[in-house]
Structure 1
Amino acid sequence: MAKKTIAIVGGGFAGVACGRRLRRLMSTEEAHIVVFSEENYMVFQPLLAEVAGSSIQAEVPATPLRVALPDVECRREKVIDIHLPENTLVFESFDGLKRTLKYDHVIIACGSGVNLSAVPGMADHAFPFRTVADAVALRAQISQQLEQAAVCEDPVRREFFLTFAVIGGGFSGVEVAGEINDLLQASEKYYPTIKPEESQVILIHSREQLLPEVSSTLRDFTKKKMEQNGVKIVLKQRVKMVTADGVTLSDGTHFHAATVVGTTGTAPHPFVERMKAEKDKGRLKTQPDMRLLGYENAWAIGDCALVLNSFDNEPSPPTGQFAERQGKQCAANLFALLQGKPTKPFYFKPLGMLCAIGGHNAVAEMMGVKLSGFIAWFIWRTVYLLKIPSFSRKVKVALDWTWELMFSRDITGVKIDHANRVHDAYFEAGSFIFKKGDPATDFYVIEKGEVEVMRQIEDGQEPEMVAMFGPGDFFGEMALVEDRPRNASVRARTDVELTIIGKGMFAKMSKILAPLSQQVNNAIRKRTTMRQKLPRSSDILKHSVLKDVIEPLPSQPLSENCTFTSAVGQFEREKADFFCVVDEKANLSGVLTRTDLLSTLEMIAAMPEEERGKIKVKDIMTQNPIWVTVDDSPLLVTEMMRERSMKRMPVVYDINDRRIAGYIRLESLMALVMRKIQAERDALREVN
């Protein structure tokens, strides 16, 4: 038999189990086995919660692939695509160039990705929990919150620092909630200023019971025991949004929490999404023996594959024990195929379920036997200790667990430097991004939504809105440049998504990037308000009503689904300079100008003629334009138009009713001021 090249994409449970079994079945002279993995280690997922809870050291759940897979070529390179008909694998090499590998057989075992975008704000503010880096980051966060709470004099703020919300009541959610709670309780003696009742772990689950994979009696035990240990359990509630302030549930309940952990939400691996193969809900469809449908030398195993288990004719669940068994049987099937022997359908009778729930307690369901409490916890540790693929890692885990039983948990935490990071943030309408007097720590760029600047003009007066910013605008630069606290508050006018740049990173970028520095300086200069430059005009606008200067649109709005050709015709017939664009509910969604049309003409010149007719207004319009409501102050509107050099601005009825009420022209605002000034002069002449 000629030497075969076998490529395995993925270094998780399935990929490692397959590679180990293949190497035992085939010598190095018979097969060249190559494993592609973006990390050079395999993560033993069941131990990640132990890392977050400081029961074991960070490197312990990570077994180096070169240790787990002797005599197998391990490549820490990213697979971009697989051309199945050509038997070619495309990967990004260490030098950034794309290279190819010709294979005889390919085994796809890349697992699944993380999807935190299903809940607004979760991707921005929740800690994911799938990798070693995730567990280490969460452990550092717990330590940092304890340190901040220890010196915080405000009891409300201290309780915020010490509240930890975990989203998802499956295995990962239950285990990490239990470990966080154990770490908090073990750390109490080192933080005498923190009262035990001030810290809280909240576990939120959408179903009626935790751990849907185990029996009802074990679910009840889990809830009862975790609540006895101090974990707050919230069931039958979905998370509506996650913000910098905590978690909001579907019933409107809000938990103020500085730390949110997201253990729900999976997505197909981006590499799998790009593959031209049959899929079911993002998972690769396979034949009974785990070969891809329609291919004889391409296999799929693990979380990325939809593999029917012939034991019960049900799809295999995305768990470690199934991935490991699939990897082993895939290797046996591939070897049998090369020997000219028949392959076997995947068959596996589940061995059971194990889950640690904190406080040296666990639940276990093995071979029909249900166990709970300390004995289940002891079995949980014993089973997973035996399943760790490396002997050296087994020893390290055993030593760490023994140390944790004899001594206190490690409370060492790596300090997170927020001043030099760039991250995204989500704020719901009405929530404050920062308040007057807060220290200046960040620079903000708006991706979606609008914010309003609130300022107390005179002592004793209620704050009023003095400015509004929308997509593409930035704010927070003046206090950073002048190195002073915030002199105004900024509040989310609508739900808003921001990119936040830390103070240190902002200083570096401003120093290196001359255009950014110039733009910031221009903004500071423009934001010298009309109140300072033109006090009389400002006073007139402040006491005027916007409805007096709203004009009807010069033409009917365009629909988002209107074609480009139709839009050009509308511009020609109505001799318009711009059109507002509305969605199916007649809400303002964009603005289309002549400049947009010209840019589109340049773009479609290079397109095939049959594609040109498919271009719609929603593809070329300016999305999420700046708008104001009929109740906004003319002074605010004037300052916004002045800062943005705008000649006109659409007006909607309300923040929650974005139907178009008309539009404002800068000339109309100027004429309003001139009329009132002239009227004052005429009145003065009559008196004299």
Structure 2
Amino acid sequence: MSTTERPRILVVGGGYVGLYAAKRIMKKMRYGEATVTVVDPRSYMTYQPFLPEVAAGSISPRHVVVPLRRVLPKAEVLTGRVTTIDQDRKVAVVTPLVGEAYELPFDYLVIALGAVSRTFPIPGLAEQGIGMKGVEEGIGLRNHVLEQLDKAESTTDEDVRRKALTFVFVGGGFAGAETIGEVEDMARDAAKYYSTIKREDMRFILVDAADKILPEVGPKLGTWGKEHLESRGIEIYLNTSMDSCVDGHVVLKNGLEVDSNTIVWTAGVKPNPALARFGLPLGPRGHVDAEPTLQVKGTDYIWTAGDNAQVPDMASRRAGVENAWCPPNAQHALRQAKVLGDNVISGMRGFPQTEYSHSNKGAVAGLGVHKGVAMIVMGKMKIKLKGRLAWYMHRGYHGMAMPTWNRKIRVFADWTLGMFLKREVVSLGALETPREEFYEAAKPAPAPAAAAAPAEKAKAS
């Protein structure tokens, strides 16, 4: 970390908003006008809409992450966490990955911590659940599912086999529906290479407490998505929830009980709990309370946006919808980050702030290869698509929204190769414990019983 006499713009979080805001600020500011510092526990940003395709093996995991230092070469990128913020002194406490925590002064502050999985105190969930918020979880889920097929193929115990081939997904929003659609697609392909496993031997279950899935695309497309998944043999239980999953024994509110080694939790998100330690005004659900200008309420030097912010939806409010707030999606995050970056520069130079306003352009979702739903908003007209065409819209939109041309090209290259080559169905489960085999080879061997006997005799004498 360098020391500087220039004003410091501290960006807390290197996700979608943090990356794009920092990039915008550095593009707009004059040479030497300020120092931009980005702090995040990871040195890369993850494009989360592609995690279901990572779990299905359609995209290489490295291609959905963007290295912060590569994209922000003129910024300070610190790998660590901001644990506290002293607004009176304008100082943040940074805890690095190693070493002692230290204070970092700032003049302007951007809060972009994003969200974490929203969980409930369900017995067994912490021990058994698999989330879908990071690329590590996407890789882990893919390896885990393929490993279950390996287990089922190699055992003669019917209970063990049944538990390995039962997959439970909790949450029917974009993340849940897309993930179960992609993973079921992958498992169906993988079963062709196992002599004793057919798709009919597997059981996929989707659970949601609401009365519909995919609410983001509207009721008609949501109903079609539900019927499509059910036509592929996926069981969907609405208006129900999971009571417990201790040791993989899943108990649902509707009375259904199953044993499963795979419990994927995608039941929504909540703002990063670290926000509670920053002394910022928070909304009823823990979001940072923001003005339409993306400034934190009551401040003129702190901005926020994205999943951790409660931002008024000015486009909807002008259309007569009271108390409308921007939903937590990539569509808003990208556009908010640009307005935020411009407003930081304006605030630094003493110019007026610009309000954020954006009309919803629709939503797209992929449910496996050549399967999807899409709702495109063009003025007052809504175009609803399903099947292969919607899947093309899904890939086209998110492919172009992927940050940097480097990553765009790599993702499209993965998709192009996937048109001609079959996807890999190999599990690399040892990635989670890469040193285990070396440890077993390197640890001291126990002394043979014959060699130990003389030593015991000597002690006795």
Task: Give the TM-score range, shorter chain.
Answer: 0.7 to 0.9
Query: Cα deviation per residue 1:453-498 (whole Å; 9 max; x = unaligned)?
Result: xxxxxxxxxxxxxxxxxxxxxxxxxxxxxxxxxxxxxxxxxxxxxx
The answer to whether the aligner puts 1:364 opposite 2:378 as a matched pair is: no
Is the 1:186–1:408 Cα contact (8 Å) retained in structure 2?
A: no
Q: CA distance change for structure 1 residues 357 and 246 in 2, over 3 Å: closer, same or farther?
A: farther
The equivalent position to 1:204 in structure 2, one of 187, 204, 207, is 207
Tell me how far apart the structure 2 counterparts of residues 122 and 265 of structure 1 sit (CA, whole Å).
15
Q: CA distance change for structure 1 residues 265 and 374 in 2, over 3 Å: closer, same or farther?
A: closer
> Match of 1:336?
346
Secondary structure of residue in 2 paired with 1:194: coil
> Match of 1:309?
313
> Match of 1:168?
171
> Match of 2:455?
none
The equivalent position to 1:414 in structure 2, one of 425, 428, 431, is 428
Q: CA deviation at 1:419?
A: 9.7
Tell me how far apart the structure 2 counterparts of residues 418 and 379 of structure 1 sit (CA, whole Å).
35
Tell me how far apart the structure 1 counterparts of residues 314 and 156 of structure 2 sit (CA, whole Å).
61
Secondary structure of residue in 2 paired with 1:323: helix
Q: CA deviation at 1:62?
A: 0.7
Larger radius of gyration: 1
Query: Cα deviation per residue 1:101-130 (whole Å; 9 max; x = unaligned)?
Result: 111100000012224343222121110110
Judge which range, 372-381 or 229-238, deviates more: 229-238
Q: CA deviation at 1:359?
A: 4.2
Is the 2:171–2:268 Cα contact (8 Å) retained in structure 1?
A: no
Q: CA distance change for structure 1 residues 27 and 287 in 2, over 3 Å: closer, same or farther?
A: same
The equivalent position to 2:357 in structure 1, one of 347, 352, 355, is 347
Q: Write the mapping of 1:229-240 to structure 2, written as runs, cut at 5 A.
A: 229-240=232-243
> Match of 1:42?
45
Is the 2:116–2:133 Cα contact (8 Å) retained in structure 1?
A: no
Q: CA distance change for structure 1 residues 46 and 417 in 2, over 3 Å: closer, same or farther?
A: closer
> Match of 1:158?
161
Q: Write the mapping of 1:97-246 to structure 2, written as runs, cut at 5 A.
A: 97-246=100-249
Is the 1:246–1:259 Cα contact (8 Å) retained in structure 2?
A: no
Query: Cα deviation per residue 1:150-198 (whole Å; 9 max; x = unaligned)?
Result: 1121334312211111100000001110111011111122101112210
Q: Write the mapping of 1:565-584 to structure 2, written as runs, cut at 5 A.
A: none
Q: Write the mapping of 1:539-550 to structure 2, written as runs, cut at 5 A.
A: none
The answer to whether the aligner puts 1:63 opposite 2:73 as a matched pair is: no
The equivalent position to 1:283 in structure 2, one of 260, 280, 287, is 287
Secondary structure of residue in 1 paired with 2:315: coil
> Match of 2:33?
30
> Match of 1:492?
none
Identity among equivalent positions (%) equals 30
Q: CA deviation at 1:3?
A: 3.9
Q: Which amino acid aligns with 1:305?
A: A
Q: CA deviation at 1:361?
A: 0.9
Tell me how far apart the structure 2 counterparts of residues 405 and 304 of structure 1 sit (CA, whole Å).
38
Tell me how far apart the structure 2 counterparts of residues 165 and 373 of structure 1 sit (CA, whole Å).
24
Q: Which amino acid aligns with 1:307?
A: V
Tell me how far apart the structure 2 counterparts of residues 105 and 173 of structure 1 sit (CA, whole Å).
37
Q: How many pairs does the alignment contain?
A: 424
Tell me how far apart the structure 1 counterparts of residues 364 and 431 of structure 2 sit (CA, whole Å).
37
Q: Give the alignment's TM-score, normalised by structure 1.
A: 0.59
Secondary structure of residue in 2 paired with 1:59: helix
Q: Write the mapping of 1:219-618 to structure 2, written as runs, cut at 5 A.
A: 219-280=222-283, 281-313=285-317, 314-367=324-377, 368-416=382-430
Q: Which amino acid aligns with 1:114?
A: S
Q: Which amino acid aligns with 1:297?
A: Y
Secondary structure of residue in 2 paired with 1:78: strand
Is the 1:170–1:211 Cα contact (8 Å) retained in structure 2?
A: yes
Secondary structure of residue in 1 paired with 2:57: coil
Q: CA distance change for structure 1 residues 147 and 395 in 2, over 3 Å: closer, same or farther?
A: same
Secondary structure of residue in 2 paired with 1:82: strand
Q: Which amino acid aligns with 2:389?
A: I
Tell me how far apart the structure 1 counterparts of residues 431 and 50 of structure 2 sit (CA, whole Å).
27
- After superposing on structure 2, the runs of 4+ consecutive aligned residues of structure 1 that deviate more than 4 Å are 416-421
Q: CA deviation at 1:416?
A: 4.7
Query: Cα deviation per residue 1:590-648 (whole Å; 9 max; x = unaligned)?
Result: xxxxxxxxxxxxxxxxxxxxxxxxxxxxxxxxxxxxxxxxxxxxxxxxxxxxxxxxxxx
Which structure 1 segments of 5+ residues have no match?
Answer: 422-503, 512-688
Q: CA deviation at 1:417?
A: 9.1
Q: Which amino acid aligns with 1:251?
A: N
Q: RCO (CA 8 Å, sep 6+): is it higher in 1 or 2?
A: 2
Q: CA deviation at 1:341?
A: 2.1
Tell me how far apart the structure 1 counterparts of residues 290 and 297 of structure 2 sit (CA, whole Å).
5
Q: Give the alignment's TM-score, normalised by structure 2.
A: 0.87
Which structure 2 segments of 5+ residues have no match?
Answer: 318-323, 447-461
Secondary structure of residue in 2 paired with 1:412: coil
Q: Which amino acid aligns with 2:415?
A: W
Tell me how far apart the structure 2 counterparts of residues 335 and 203 of structure 1 sit (CA, whole Å).
46
Q: CA distance change for structure 1 residues 418 and 353 in 2, over 3 Å: closer, same or farther?
A: closer
Query: Cα deviation per residue 1:418-469 (whole Å; 9 max; x = unaligned)?
Result: 9999xxxxxxxxxxxxxxxxxxxxxxxxxxxxxxxxxxxxxxxxxxxxxxxx
Is the 1:84–1:298 Cα contact (8 Å) retained in structure 2?
A: no
Secondary structure of residue in 1 paired with 2:422: coil
Q: CA deviation at 1:265?
A: 4.5
Query: Cα deviation per residue 1:541-566 (whole Å; 9 max; x = unaligned)?
Result: xxxxxxxxxxxxxxxxxxxxxxxxxx
Query: Cα deviation per residue 1:75-99 (whole Å; 9 max; x = unaligned)?
Result: 1121111111211111013442111
Secondary structure of residue in 2 paired with 1:188: helix
More strand by share: 1
Q: CA distance change for structure 1 residues 417 and 52 in 2, over 3 Å: closer, same or farther?
A: closer
Q: Which amino acid aligns with 2:407?
A: R
Tell me how far apart the structure 2 counterparts of residues 49 and 135 of structure 1 sit (CA, whole Å).
7
Q: Which amino acid aligns with 2:233?
A: G
Tell me how far apart the structure 2 counterparts of residues 419 and 406 of structure 1 sit (CA, whole Å).
33
Tell me how far apart the structure 2 counterparts of residues 96 and 325 of structure 1 sit (CA, whole Å).
36
Q: Which amino acid aligns with 1:4?
A: P
